Structure 1
Amino acid sequence: QLLNILETVARYQAMRANPEADWTPRVKIFAGKAAASYTRAKHIIRLAGDVARIINHDPVTSDRLKLVFLPNYSVSLAELVIPAADLSEQISTAGMEASGTGNMKLALNGALTVGTLDGANIEIREHVGAENIFIFGMTAAEITASRARGPNAEAAIAASPTLGQVLAALEQGYFSPDEPGRYAGLVQTLRHDDQFKLCEDFDAYCAAQAQIDAHWGQPSAWWRTAILNTAGMGWFSADRAIREYAADIWRVKAS
Structure 2
Amino acid sequence: MTNSEIARQRHPSDLSAESRSTRQGSRILIVEDDLEIARMLGDTLTENGMIVEIAGNGVRMDAALRNQKFDLIVLDVMLPGENGLSICRRLRAQTNVPILMLTALGEEIDRIFGLEIGADDYVTKPFSARELTARIRALLRRTTYAPEERDRSKVLRFNGWRLDPIRRQLHDPSNARVATTTHEFDLLLAFCRNAGRVLSREELLGVTHAGLAGPIERSVDVHVSRIRQKIEKDARDPVLLRTVRLGGYIFTATVEEA
Question: Is the TM-score greater than 0.5?
Answer: no
TM-score by length of 1: 0.35
Higher relative CO (Cα under 8 Å, sequence separation at least 6) belongs to 1
Q: TM-score, normalised by structure 2?
A: 0.34
Higher strand share: 2
